Amino acid sequence: DGGITQSPKYLFRKEGQNVTLSCEQNLNHDAMYWYRQDPGQGLRLIYYSQIVNDFQKGDIAEGYSVSREKKESFPLTVTSAQKNPTAFYLCASSIDGRRESYEQYFGPGTRLTVT
């Protein structure tokens, strides 16, 4: 069964600690994306990658980092520099990141709580 997996579903961390969120896809998609969702708001793009070994900052990249060493994997690290890290994080992928007509497929999300 093809899809996108994110783990864990819930994550708790202390302030000042870095934390890495996992995202894996077996859809053979070239492009992958990370979004942040806050209550009552739409999704905001953190980082995206159109191809392996390449990624670009989205609208709210400060305090986050990513890597794309494998086509299937796009982990997101929330660093201690991120001022308000508590949020719901969603990973997505699409067949081709260069065509606007291709829809994005989303994972189930990771809810991160930092205290």
Contacting residues for 35 by C-beta, under 8 A, at least 6 apart? 43, 44, 45, 46, 89, 90, 91, 92
From the CB of 76, what's the least distance to other proteins, in Å? 15
**Binding residue (CB under 8 A) for other proteins from 48, 55, 64, 74:** 48
Q: What share of the chain is helix, strand, coil (3-state, %, to 5)?
A: 0, 50, 50
Stretch of residues binding other proteins (CB under 8 A), selected from 13-21, 60-68, 75-83, 86-94: 86-94
User: How far apart are CB 110 and other proteins at their closest, in Å?
Assistant: 10
Interacting residue ranges for other proteins, rule: CB under 8 A: 4, 6, 31, 33, 40-45, 48, 50, 56, 58, 90, 92, 94, 96-109
